[in-house]
Structure formats: C-alpha cells, structure tokens
Amino acid sequence: MIRSYIELTKPRITWLILMSTGIGYYFGIREGAWTWLSLLHTIIGTALIASGTAALNQWYESDADSRMNRTKQRPIPSGRLTRNQALVFGIALSIIGFAELALGVNLLTGLLGLFTLVCYLGLYTPLKSKSWHSTTVGSIPGAMPPLIGFAAAAGTLTAEAWALYAILFVWQFPHFYSIAWMYREDYGRAGIRMLPVVEPDGTSTARHILAFLILLFPVSLIPSMLSMTGRFYLAGAILMGLFFLRAGVRVAREKTLLNARKVLLASVVYLPVLYGLMAVDRP
C-alpha cells in the first residue's frame, strides 16, 4: 500500500523538479539572505506540492491511463488504490506543500507553487484530450521550479530567475515531443491528442523538435550574457547545445523511433550537465 502511494508521487520526475528548484535557489542566494532552514523548507515544500500534483493528475487521468500499456499498471488503473484514495492523498500533499512554502519560506514562493499546481491541473491536464497545444501550455508550469527556488532564496524574481525559467521552458519541447513520438500509439488509444497522434507521419514533430533545439542554443547562453556564469559555462553550454542539436538533426533527417529515443536520452543528459556547469562556474 505504501509503495502504491509513493508511485502516485512519480519520484523519478520529482528529482528533476528538485534539481531545477535547487539551481534556482543557488542563484537566488546572491539576491537575498538565506538559511539552511529556508532551503530545507523549500525542498520539502516543493517535493510535497509536486507529489500532490502528480497524484491528482493520476486521479484525473486514471481512465486514460487504463488504456495505455505504459501506464495501465499505475496504482489506480491496476486497482491497488481507489480514485478517492488518490484524490485525498493528492489534496493533502498539495495543501501541506503550499503551507510549507508559504509559511516556511515566503508568500511569493508559496504562490508560485500554487500557480504551478493550478495551471498544470486546471489547464494542461484537461487540454491533453483536446489539442496538441497542450505541450505548450504544460511547459508553462513545467518550467516553474527554478522560479520557485530563486524566489525562496531571494524573495523576488529578477532577470536571472527568468533566464533559468527560459532554459527549462524551451528544453521541455524536444524532451516531451520525443516521448510523445515514442508512445504515440498509446496516446492515440487513450484519446490524448499529442502532436505525433494528430500528425502521425512525424514530419511536424521532427520539425518542432529541431526548431526548439535551435532556439535552446542561444537561450542557454543567456546566463553568460547576464554574468551569472563565466567562460567555462559558456564553452560547456555551446558544446552541450551542439550535442543536443545533433540528435535533433538526426531525427529530422530520419524520422525513426530509434532517433526519437536518442533525442530523449540526449535531453536527460543535457539538463543535469548544464546545471552542473552553472553551479561550478558561478562568479
């Protein structure tokens, strides 16, 4: 039973959220006073509200999940938990997470966390069955973790915070378009209108992946332009940008499942490395 509740929180996604929150907090330190206690509240609060959002998302999409091979063994479709159990659990985590951020850190951080939850569940999740533009809408709350972390440390949002937001916002498109391509048949069975489902030949998906990878290249250099990082980051960001872009060029030339998977793998390497470069090369 406990394991099923843990599965509802999607821990493999939560670590990426916390990593992005952490890099935001790290750069927010330069703008304001911070303490180890506020960092702890930030990590716990973000983890709770992210976990609550994940649980509520599975509650909402339990019917669609039951029709997809990749999700039918999740706690609700498999019958290990009821929808009501997931609903109560998700609401409880979300409320506690918001309180942790708003009271343990500051109100701005709590409101940013609440906005993320409301936007994700109120806009992105229901739009998935109606339009492939849900990917764009979902990228708005998906890029919020650096803002949450920055606001927690600084108590405000500056151009540096929005630079981190922009990188994560753009990064999500090749990442999620490649996932949608890989599981387009599953999404089609569930009635989720991802771009590869709407246009199954893959041409539009490959074009979008490549376009956003080209955009990500200059966006990833903004931290250097804002003097957030030094030359080491600049060189590393250029190399990582070329590495990621190469995967996009391949999938644009040969629209295969294997090349889509390579884009996904490149995306999960790219972001942690980029964050690591930022962390070690902050002036």
Give the CATH number for residue 51: 1.10.357.140
Q: Does residue 248 register a pLDDT over 90?
A: yes
Judge if 143 and 268 occupy the same domain.
Answer: no
pLDDT tens for each residue of 143-195: 999 999 999 999 999 999 999 999 999 999 999 999 999 999 989 898 999 99
The amino acid sitting at 102 is A
Tell me the CA distances in angstroms from 270 to 106, 119, 184, 248, one per residue in order: 31, 26, 24, 13
Phi, psi of 10 (to 5 degrees): 50, 65
Same domain, 194 and 70: no
Residue 277: Cβ within 10 Å count: 22
What is the rounded CA–CA span in Å between residue 76 and residue 57?
11
When mean pLDDT is compared across 40-54, 148-162, 188-202, 204-218, the lowest value belongs to 188-202
Dihedral of the CA atoms 95, 55, 130, 135 (nearest 10)? Answer: 90
Find the angle CA(161)-CA(178)-CA(129) to the nearest 5 degrees: 90
End-to-end, the C-alpha distance of the chain in Å comes to 47
Q: What is the structure's pLDDT at 12?
A: 87
122 and 4 fall within a common domain: yes
How far, in Å, CA of 193 to CA of 167, rounded? 25
Q: What is the pLDDT of residue 283?
A: 85
pTM for the structure as a whole: 0.95
Residue written as token pair 């994560």: 168
- Domain total of the chain: 2
Number of H helices, E strands in the chain: 16, 0
Average pLDDT over residues 73-88: 94
Q: Which residues of 56-79 are buried (b: 16+ CB within 10 A; e: fewer)?
A: bbbbbbbebbbbbeebeebbbbee
**248, 191: one domain:** yes
Q: 55: Cβ–Cβ under 8 A, 6 or more apart, which residues? A: 8, 9, 86, 89, 90, 93
- Domain of residue 126 covers 1-157
Last residue of a domain, one of 115, 134, 157: 157
Q: Can you tell me the distance from the alpha carbon of 183 to that of 171, in angstroms, rounded to the nearest whole number?
A: 19
